[in-house]
């Protein structure tokens, strides 16, 4: 795979060299000329590569609006250090220049004292807009919506709407959708730019608007909203209260951020690691975030060791059984993780929406039975030709078949159960399912070995 960053630096090396020289010479005019020629994303890439002393120069070379464009293109979890290292007045101005929803996301990452300080310094209009959004619970529609939208009244004419649009469009987050309100400020319709252009100037908006609205409650979970964007192929989604008053809109770029955030969160849970464990984290921070999970898993691992100890007499009499412990435990863990991945993905994407949960469990049970039978048959044959003992082969093969059936059921049932209890299914992480399946498979293996000890000896 091509190293994107390396390709990027080679492509823009000449531009970067000019910027570096301008920074070294503290030449504001040259730096602004070269920097502002670049796309905002390219600007953010260059900015992130600079040490603190050069970043401080960049803050003095650019306006708050220009810096806001740079900050918007930086990952949310990386922005806080940059906001706090600059002059508070500059930081407040930058936050005020951003779309309100982006500013709220950044402020939610900061200490409350700093948030209050920035809001106090900020101009009143921007501060009030941000304060409104800060009140909403995190990861809900209210927390990710923006109030920078364009709305008309149904009694306005097309000509009046076009005049209003020209005034308000520069400050709007998007003009792909234009919303229509009644006299009580309730959302009643939606328009596109095309609708306005082709309509007669004297036509009333209520005559040309579409009443087929897709809306979302202000308290709706962001993960469910992401699913709505995919289902309806939306570019923006209006957010309303229980009386259908328009409160804001959620745009597709915000939903892409949500999808990335949810995917990272689910991956962290599936791997039993903290979301704060990032490649840029120090070894100490990484170890600190992983240790709690590892300690819990070590206690579960002790159950496995204790279980094997219960069958010490069986092992003493037939020591060869120990050879196949990793094989059985490993296969049970792997098949459980496969079933877990399918279940969590199905719940996350809504694939289970039209299917009975019991139908899915029976499907996984049958899948486990088929894979278990085939794997058990293969292992039985291998052990017979390797050890020359058909009973040992049958024992290990039967244990694998039973373990794979149970592991597949556990991998699919546990996430479904958690979803029913309104717990994030991703909490049923791979390491936990693997450890649980280790315990179950060892119990099955040694239980069967003890029961048929006479044949083995």
8 Å CB contact between 412 and 343: yes
What percentage of the chain carries pLDDT values higher than 70?
A: 84
Name which of 13-22, 51-60, 261-270, 357-366 the model is least confident about: 261-270
What b-and-e string marks burial along 158-181, b requiring 16 or more CB atoms within 10 Å of the CB? bebbbebbeebeeebbbeebbbbb
Q: Which of residues 205 and 276 earns the better pLDDT score?
A: 205
Residue 241: predicted pLDDT? 94
Domain boundaries, the chain: 4-135, 151-252, 283-456
pLDDT of 313 higher than 70: yes
8 Å CB contact between 415 and 269: no
CATH superfamily of 151-252: CBS-domain (3.10.580.10)
Instruction: Render pLDDT for 117-135 as a digit per residue (tens, 0 to 9).
Output: 999 999 998 999 899 888 8
Residue 65: predicted pLDDT? 93
pLDDT of 355 higher than 60: no
Question: Domain 283-456, what architecture?
Answer: Orthogonal Bundle (1.10)
8 Å CB contact between 149 and 179: yes
- The pLDDT confidence band at residue 378, using thresholds 50, 70 and 90, is very high
Domain range 4-135, its CATH number among 1.10.10.350, 3.40.50.2000, 3.40.50.2300, 1.25.60.10:
1.25.60.10
Distance CA 90, CA 81 (A): 14
SS3 240: strand
Residue with tokens 């994407």: 349
Distance CA 251, CA 237 (A): 7
Side by side, which strands form the sheet with 216-217? 216-217, 236-240, 246-251
């Amino acid at each position: 795979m091509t190293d994107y960053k390396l390709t990027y630096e080679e492509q823009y090396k000449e531009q970067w060299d000019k910027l570096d020289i301008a920074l070294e010479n503290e030449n504001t005019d040259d730096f602004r000329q070269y920097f502002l020629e670049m796309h905002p994303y390219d600007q953010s890439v260059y900015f992130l590569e600079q040490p603190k002393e050069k970043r401080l120069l960049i803050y003095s070379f650019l306006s708050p609006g220009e810096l806001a464009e740079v900050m918007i293109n930086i990952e949310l979890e990386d922005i806080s250090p940059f906001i706090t290292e600059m002059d508070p007045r500059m930081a407040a101005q930058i936050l005020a220049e951003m779309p309100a929803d982006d500013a709220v996301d950044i402020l939610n990452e900061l200490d409350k004292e700093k948030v209050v300080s920035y809001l106090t310094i900020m101009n009143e209009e921007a501060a009030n807009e941000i304060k409104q959004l800060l009140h909403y619970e995190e990861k809900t529609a209210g927390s990710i919506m923006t109030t920078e939208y364009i709305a008309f009244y149904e009694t306005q004419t097309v000509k009046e709407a076009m005049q209003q649009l020209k005034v308000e469009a520069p400050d709007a987050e998007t003009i792909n959708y234009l919303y229509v309100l009644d006299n009580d400020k309730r959302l009643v319709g939606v328009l596109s730019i095309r609708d306005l252009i082709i309509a007669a100037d004297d036509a009333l908006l209520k005559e040309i608007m579409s009443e087929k609205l897709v809306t979302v409650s202000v308290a709706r979970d962001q993960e469910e909203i992401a699913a709505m964007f995919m289902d309806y192929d939306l570019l923006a989604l209006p957010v309303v209260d229980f009386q259908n008053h328009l409160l804001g809109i959620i745009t597709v770029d915000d939903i892409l951020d949500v999808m990335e955030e949810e995917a990272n969160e689910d991956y962290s849970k599936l791997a039993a690691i903290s979301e704060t464990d990032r490649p840029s984290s120090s070894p100490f921070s990484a170890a600190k975030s992983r240790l709690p999970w590892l300690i819990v898993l070590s206690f579960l691992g002790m159950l496995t060791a204790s279980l094997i100890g219960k069958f010490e007499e069986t092992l003493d009499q037939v020591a060869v059984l120990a050879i196949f412990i990793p094989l059985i435990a490993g296969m049970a863990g792997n098949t459980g993780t496969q079933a877990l991945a399918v279940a969590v993905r199905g719940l996350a994407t809504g694939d289970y929406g039209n299917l009975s949960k019991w139908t899915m469990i029976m499907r996984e049970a049958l899948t486990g039975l088929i894979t278990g039978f085939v794997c058990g048959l293969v292992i039985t044959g291998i052990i017979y030709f390797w050890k020359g003992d058909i009973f040992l082969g049958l024992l290990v093969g039967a244990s694998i078949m039973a373990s794979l059936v149970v592991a597949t059921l556990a991998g699919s049932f546990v996430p479904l159960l958690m979803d029913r209890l309104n717990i994030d299914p991703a909490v049923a992480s791979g390491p936990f399912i693997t450890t649980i399946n280790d315990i179950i498979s060892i119990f099955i293996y040694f239980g069967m070995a003890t029961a048929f000890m006479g044949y083995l000896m």
